[in-house]
Amino acid sequence: MRKTRRSPSSPLRVWIPPKKAREKFLIIYELEGSQKAVNFLTKYYGVRRMKIVFNGRRVGNGNIACYFENRAYFTKRGLKKRTVLHELYHHLVCIKELELSSRIEEKDANNYAREFLKIQFFSREPVLNA
């Protein structure tokens, strides 16, 4: 029996929304805050909402954020877009009951946040003044 070769980057288990939804998330995050932005994404995915708790006491081991039972806990320096998206990935995995090892889940959460934030708002073509 021949072993199949796995690609170095595993596919994400949770799909990334289209560009317009990602842009809307970023606008809501900047204008209305992280909780409303997360509510938008959970509604988009059709899952129950994740509550954001800004309380560093729950976060331990030198971490900046952690996810536990539909709540994401953040420290002062941990409440950033990338970290919020990382914890949202953990929420989606938990809700969809995906069975992943902690190492793979962490790697996928990092990839999800990185790919989500790859948005080019402006084209690189020069604007000609007529």
Domains of the chain (ranges; CATH) run 19-116 (1.10.10)
Contacts of 38 (CB under 8 A, 6+ apart): 49, 50, 52, 72, 84, 88
In angstroms, the CA 47 to CA 7 distance is: 30
Q: What is the mean pLDDT of the chain?
A: 85
Give the angle 28-59-49 at the CA atoms, nearest 5°: 40
80 secondary structure, DSSP code: S
The β-bridge partners of 65 are: 74
Is 16 within 8 Å of 115 (Cβ atoms)? yes
Is 23 within 8 Å of 119 (Cβ atoms)? yes
Per-residue pLDDT reduced to its tens digit, 13-57 = 788 999 999 999 999 999 999 999 999 999 999 999 999 998 767
**What is the reported pLDDT for 5?**
40
Per-residue pLDDT reduced to its tens digit, 113-127 = 999 998 755 545 555
Per-residue pLDDT reduced to its tens digit, 77-119 = 889 999 999 999 999 999 999 899 999 999 999 999 999 998 7
Integer Rg of the chain from CA: 17
